[in-house]
Amino acid sequence: MRFSWLLAAASAEMRTACRQTRTWLGIVLVLGFSLIVWINVNLDAPPPLPTLSSVPRFLIVEISLPLTLMLLVGIVFLAFDVRGRDQRERIADVLDARPISNLELLCGRLVSVVALAWLPLALFALLAQTLGLLVGELVPETQVEPMEWRSLAAFLLLSALPLFVLWGSFVVLLAVLFRNRLAVALIALAAIGAWFWSIGSAPAHLISVVASQSLYASDVMPRFAEAQTLIHRAALLLVAGGLLVAAAAAHVRRDDGARPRRFAIAAALLAAGCGGIAVAVLAAVADVELRRHWLAAHQAAALSDSMQGDIERLRGTVRIVPGERLAIDVDVLLRGADAESLVFSFNPGMTVEEVQIDGDADVRFRHQDGLLSVTLPARSSVEDAERIRLSLRASGIPDSRFGYLDSATDDVNPLILGTKASIFQHDYVALMPGAHWLPSRVEIGGPGRRDFFAVNLEVEVPAGWLVAGPGQRREVAARDGMRPATTRYRFHPEAPVPAVALLASRFERLAMTVADVELELLVHARHLDNVAYFADAVPELARRLDERFADAAGLGLGYPYGGLSMVETPAGLRTYGGGWRMDTVQSLPGILLLDERSLPSARLQRHFQDPEQYADRDQDAAAAKVDALEHYFESDFTGGNPFQGVSRNFLPFQTGAVGEGMAAVALEFVVGELVNLLLTDRGGYFSAYVFSTGFGSDKNRWLLTSAVEGLSPGASVAALDAVANRPSVWDRALGTSLAKLDPQRDPSQALNVLSFKGRAVARSILDALGRQRTAALLAELRRHHVGGHFDWHDFNAAAQRIGVNLAALVGDWLHDEALPGFLASPATLVRLTDGPHGRPRYQTRLHIRNGEGTPGLLRLGYALDKRDVRRGNRRNSDPIRIDGHAAVEVGLVTAQPPIELWVQPYLSLNRRDVRLALPAVDAAGRHAGEPLAGVVPSAWRPRRDDAIVVDDLDPGFSVERDSAENGLRLGGLGLRGLGTVFLLPADMDQGLPEYSDFATTAQGTWTRQELPLSWGRYRHTVARAAAGDGLERAVFAAELPATGRWRLGYHMPPPPPSERESGFAFVQGDYDLRLEVGAGRRVRTVEFDAAAAAVGWNDLGAFDLPAGSVRLLVSNGTAGDLVLADAIRWRAENVTGLMAGDFPRPAQGP
């Protein structure tokens, strides 16, 4: 091959392309897009969301795929007529008569096409890096920074280039095979589309192979490429070579190369390339298979008679030679040795050098498949039959694939949360408990019984390295036997730990001591911007932390480990665990992990440019900054929320719950939430499923909801509300108790049920008991069970010991699936005689009845002015407890008349807060008499109405579609259906799709929407359908008890508030109503003009009807925009023979 000819062809092609408008249009688009994204990320201040926010340093990983896709489309339009253009321009013969070979010609053209696609990227990289460096250097407060260069270089050279060459070759081959360039473009675009689709559909372990992109960029552990990546990309180039040679062979022009030989070479190259790709795929598959193999071995071990080590104490030394060798020499003291052998999970990357039992080295052991099995010596040689001392010496490099073997989602792992169970590299070491780098309990099936043990470890690291471990780190004085250029630290906390993690690197350290707890921040040297930014807020931060730790200690829940390290971790480290729950592992005893994409690189300075907007005006800037920091942390729903994380140290790391099935999990969850609420007063939510590649819709659900509803009071809570507190979760929750929840059936939903129901239970316990008594309960639990376990009875017993009957207070929340349900009377609002100093007083009173047998808690929420309403700030009453089938009267005395009033159950069949209508107040009138400010028993019952009411949630409600018209509907999606581009599947709400602006429901489909002032018993919902084909009907069916004249009412709720406020209210028109009477379905048409209807009951007329079934059908056909079906009412007008009990259900208005 003559290079000069190839270059000649390339330059001619380049010249041709460069003089075409479409080329420049493409270049400008790509360059513009990437620069705008880069500038936006650098200069804009989006709400900081840990791990999900765009960090300029790591931007290229986020935009690499869309950029690649855009440029591949560009390549199609550059290369789709490489042959046809010659013929159109009538230069084909002249070129063909040139001595250049087909391969040289096509290769040259490919070079040009690839260069044209790649150069804009390179230009973007150059511009972005130059600007980043210059602006960052000259105007540091802008926080503009260049991208991490290794990830950038990896994208340019190892992702973009091979992909461009591959796809370019493919298009060239198509262009040679097909003369019609439109056909070439369509086939190529379809293939690219299929490739892009396959990225989204591929199993998690194959995504990086299919996408040919790096998944992570890192400052902490920057990498250009691993050997596997290089092999894979070389394989792509071989395939590209094969395609190109095939194109040269198939070219209509003949040259000296023999076609059969060319095809043979092409086949060989394709085979070699595909072989290389297959090697990469098989390697990834083999990793999965290996994990499955390990899992099977662990499952077998979990069922064996071997003793699962109940570890009591762990002591010894750990030597870390980063990237080269981990050596452990530990003694493990085990309890309850009544088996013939022991079995541990132990990382297969480690080589066991020696095992001793109680000092006896003559022990048979086997380390295979990540299981360390030790045959115990004869009983006579065991000094203490109750305890065994296992001494273990092992070394090696922990296998980063080993860990969390029983994860529920191996195929759809949340890649964003990391893939490596452990890291042992020359620049960073993360020895996570889940990687079992120490012998530990064989865990299968999710969180099970945990050991709580004392730890005393000496850890040796290279000089200059710092290591975070369980609790406070003490440097050990140099002594004989220590290797040169190393430092030793001891970790010996007083309190027990359930796991040991070590994280080491050349960290920068910042520390403070508050309430006798040493807090340290270990971060990468590059990530000190935020440290500098918050420097002036350190005293305020210290004050608040001191307050919290001291408060915890005062409540009897002192911090147990003496020290707490917040450690930065690289992006690839897996931060979620295994089992069905896949809980976060970012919180470890004495350690909080900080993903480098969160706080360390967060652009808080930019986001909180005006700290005052996040704080009350009377605060100083430092306090505002700390507020901002708290807000940031609170928004973390990727598992790194430090409020939740730190609070685990106070109790969940000290003792664990045991019990049958989910009872232990739920009990431990509620206790954990109680600690969190008590100490931090903050909620939170983490579900790895949200980030799983196959569960993208949940993340979208959260992103969209939070975008619509705003992020206050924190994205984590918004996530809980958007993902966990939704109809399908409620439907699941209502069918089972927490203890009976089956995590194997749709584990993500099980976790959602646990999250929102458990949190509601915890909140109700806390509010029912108050802070002091809750703290006393938890302290009592810790005192009695530290280092051990507790069950449901222990929990209630602890409550009994502090004088609380929890069962009476909140019922059996663990085992009982029943929930309370609240009905409220219309509220009254009057002005009282003025109070002292002439201050006005207003009395609001109402009755609330618990319509179910389970006791429940609620609060009244109210707003006194529009500012509160706007901000979503409600004032709350104290918790109100109502026994089953009992009622109370509640009174509020306020200085202003409330403008909004809500019944706010903690956990009830009402599901959500219920808004109550408030009457207008007579400002002139003054009511004397004793005001009611609190709760008194009441005998109130909802008024019995001699009418039959069918609500959209009643069994009499259903949706039918004309059978003749059943079939594929390709109806439009409507204006609001524009959101379907986000492809959110509609959630199901008691048999109907939940109404959502972003749901994928076809035009005219009946959906269900929560509407506070709609008709309902516990829940207030309305069925709604955008104007459709008139064939899908909402049906209100009722059984009339007697023949006679019945008056039909149709309830119309007020329009949804969002539509009222946005001015985007739908236009109402005539409804298509039909009355079907009797078994023969005699039909009568009913007139109803919704545009003229009033809010509330609307009279549809009186009908002489026989006893028996009657159905009102509401079709989705209307002259307006939508149809609402809330409730209907049949009221007897001239009916004889009615008896008590004919109207069994009390009606309940809005």
Partner 1 sequence: MSIRAAATPTGDGPVIEAKGLGHTYKGGHTALDGVDLALGTGLFGLLGPNGAGKSTLMRIICTLLVPSRGTVTVCGRDVTVQRREVRERIGYLPQEFGAWRHHRTEEVLDTLARLSGMSDKRQRRARVAETLEMVGLADVADRKVKKLSGGMVRRLGVAQALVHEPQVLIVDEPTVGLDPEERMRFRQVMARLGRDRTVLLSTHIVADLGGGCQEMALLDDGRIVFQGSPPELLRQAGGRVFELTADAAAAERVEADFEIVSRTASSNGVTLRGVTANGLPAAATAVESPTLEEGYLAFMAARGRSEAARQEQETLGAASAADASAA
Residues that bind partner 1 (CB under 8 A): 2, 4-5, 7-9, 11-12, 15-16, 19-20, 89-91, 93-101, 253-256
Nearest distance from C-beta of residue 25 to partner 1, angstroms: 15
**Beta strands of 570-627 (E only): which ranges?**
587-588, 591-595
Alpha-carbon span 879 to 864, nearest angstrom: 19
C-alpha to C-alpha distances, 143 to 43, 48, 628, nearest whole angstrom? 8, 14, 17
Nearest distance from C-beta of residue 5 to partner 1, angstroms: 6
Shortest gap between Cβ of 26 and partner 1 (angstroms)? 16
In angstroms, what is the minimal distance from the CB of 12 to partner 1? 4
Smallest distance from the beta carbon of 17 to partner 1, in angstroms? 9
CB of 95 to partner 1, least distance (A): 7
Up-side HSE of residue 757: CA atoms within 13 Å toward CB? Answer: 31
- When the beta carbons of 103 and 592 are compared against partner 1, the nearer one is 103
Distance CA 18, CA 889 (A): 81
Q: Half-sphere exposure (CA, 13 Å, Cβ side) for 594?
A: 24
- Closest approach of Cβ 131 to partner 1, in Å? 33
Q: In the complex, what is the shortest distance from the CB of residue 23 to partner 1, in angstroms, rounded to a whole number?
A: 11
Q: Are strands 502-505 and 508-514 parallel, antiparallel or unpaired?
A: unpaired
Tell the smallest beta-carbon distance from residue 44 to partner 1 (Å).
40
Structure tokens at 1131: 């009221």
Buried b (16+ CB within 10 A) or exposed e, 591-619: bbbbbbbbbbbbbbbbbbeebeebbeeeb
- Give the angle 998-1002-1008 at the CA atoms, nearest 5°: 65
Residue 20 or 744: the one with the smaller Cβ distance to partner 1 is 20
Q: 43: which residues sit within 8 A by CB, 6+ positions away? A: 142, 144, 606
Give the span between the Cα atoms of 845 and 894, in whole angstroms: 11
Pick the closest to residue 671 from 556, 770, 782, 551 (CA basis): 782
C-beta closer to partner 1: residue 102 or 159: 102
CA 913, chain centre distance (Å): 24
Q: Which is nearer to partner 1, 261 or 483 (CB)?
A: 261
Displacement of CA 667 from its chain's centroid (Å)? 22
Contact 374, 300 (CB under 8 A): no
Q: How far apart are CA 268 and CA 257, in angstroms?
A: 16
Q: For the CB of residue 168, give the shortest distance to partner 1 in the complex, in Å.
A: 20
Q: Give the integer Cα–Cα distance in Å for 627 and 717.
A: 17
Least gap, CB of 11 to partner 1 (angstroms): 7
CA distances from 970 to 967, 1007, 1032, 1114 (A): 10, 18, 14, 22
Sign, CA torsion 185/187/191/196: positive
Asked if 188 and 174 count as a contact pair (C-beta separation under 8 A), the reply is yes
| Token output for 296 | 């099977």
| Category of 639 on φ-ψ map: left (φ > 0), alpha (ψ -120 to 50) or beta | left
Nearer to partner 1 by C-beta: 94 or 278?
94
Q: How far is the CB of 99 from partner 1 (least distance, A)?
A: 4
633-647 CB burial, b ≥16 within 10 A, e <16:
bbbbbbbbbbbbbbb
Q: Which residue's CB is nearer to partner 1, number 8 or number 279? A: 8
> Sign of the CA dihedral 163, 165, 166, 170?
positive
DSSP type of residue 1066: P
Q: Which are the contacts of 968, defined by CB distance < 8 A and separation ≥ 6?
A: none
Tokens of 234: 């070389």
- Smaller CB separation from partner 1, 66 or 257: 257
Task: Write down the least CB distance from residue 16 to partner 1, Å.
Answer: 5
Minimum Å distance from CB 80 to partner 1? Answer: 17
Nearest approach, Cβ of residue 175 and partner 1 (Å): 17
CB of 84 to partner 1, least distance (A): 13
**In the complex with partner 1, which residue's Cβ is closer, 38 or 77?**
77
Residues 21-48: b if buried by 16+ CB within 10 A, e if exposed: eebeebbeebbebbeebbeebbeeeebb
Q: What's the min distance (Å) between Cβ of 170 and partner 1?
A: 24
DSSP code per residue over 173-192: HHHHH-S-HHHHHHHHHHHH
Question: What does 778-809 look like in DSSP terms, one character per residue?
Answer: HHHHHHHHTTSEE-HHHHHHHHHHTT--HHHH
Amino acid sitting at position 795: F
Q: Which is nearer to partner 1, 25 or 385 (CB)?
A: 25
Alpha carbons 493 and 474: distance in angstroms, whole number: 10
CB of 219 to partner 1, least distance (A): 46
Q: What is the distance between the alpha carbons of residues 244 and 312, in angstroms, rounded to a whole number?
A: 65
Dist CA 121 CA 758 (whole Å): 49
CA distance 1009 to 1026: 12
